[in-house]
Amino acid sequence: MSDRGEAGSDSSGDDRSDPDETGDAPEPWVFSLPDCPVCGQPVTNVTVTGPRSGTAEPCGCSVLPGTLDRTPRG
């Protein structure tokens, strides 16, 4: 019977609280979105249409693939 109690307590809250308490998982909002080099708006995605052409989203500006790669800020 003690096995059931332990299993019940593990699934009720311990599994959810462990990652939050340890902070091992990075939070998605820690990183900022890169700015479009053409218009300056935040870019969420780049659609590559060729080896030297792409479209920034959501602004729609033409950008070179790899121009918006994230670099460490410091």
The pLDDT, as a whole number, for residue 59 is: 95
Q: Model's pTM, two decimal places?
A: 0.51
Examine residue 19 and state whether it is found in any structural domain, yes or no: yes
* pLDDT 10s digits, 13-44: 545 554 555 566 666 555 678 899 999 999 99
28 vs 53: CA distance, rounded Å: 28
Q: Pairing between strand 62-63 and 53-57?
A: antiparallel
Examine residue 73 and state whether it is found in any structural domain, yes or no: no
pLDDT category at 65 given cuts 50, 70, 90 is: confident
| Structural domains in the chain (count) | 1
* Residue type at position 61: C
Examine residue 57 and state whether it is found in any structural domain, yes or no: yes
Examine residue 71 and state whether it is found in any structural domain, yes or no: no
Can you give the residue range of the structural domain that contains 43? 2-63
56 vs 66: CA distance, rounded Å: 11
Examine residue 22 and state whether it is found in any structural domain, yes or no: yes
Examine residue 69 and state whether it is found in any structural domain, yes or no: no
CB 37 within 8 A of CB 63: yes
CB 64 within 8 A of CB 55: no
Examine residue 74 and state whether it is found in any structural domain, yes or no: no
38 vs 35: CA distance, rounded Å: 9
